[in-house]
Amino acid sequence: MEKSQPQALSNAQKKILRKLGHSLNPVVYIGKEGLSDTVILAVEEALDAHELIKIKLINTDKISKHEAADRVPDLTRSQLVQLIGKTLIVYRPNKNKKKDERIRLPKS
């Protein structure tokens, strides 16, 4: 079964998510191994738990920040909110979370 990509975020939604993401600390680090299965699994688990996460690229020659910004959302069915320096902010809503625990975004 093919995994479908989420609906694109509007600029207003991205603005809200960037503001929320500003104070976050990175929860996943992409290092010298690049986008290994372990890293992708860590991103998946972090998105399930938090919906909005920061990912930091450190000491990596295997993948550029722009390639990571393209591939991480594709591999995790999430959306890139922002790429700043070597830090990605990605978002994926979790419909299994309680309604009051989810990030609320205005309609696009």
Q: Give burial (CB, 10 Å; 0-12/13-18/19+) of 34.
A: middle
Average pLDDT, integer, range 73-89? 96
Query: 10 or 101: whose pLDDT is higher?
Result: 10
Tokens of 70: 């393209």
Q: Please determine, for residue 48, whether its predicted confidence score (pLDDT) is greater than 70.
A: yes
pLDDT classification of 4: cutoffs 50, 70, 90: low
1: pLDDT strictly greater than 70: no
Q: Cα dihedral sign for 15, 35, 73, 94?
A: negative
How many angstroms separate the CA atoms of 96 and 87, rounded? 27
Kind and range of the H or E run holding 27: strand 26-30
Mean pLDDT (whole number) for 65-82: 95
Query: How is the chain split into domains, by residue range?
Result: 11-91
Question: What's domain 11-91's architecture?
Answer: 2-Layer Sandwich (3.30)
**Which pLDDT belongs to residue 2?**
46
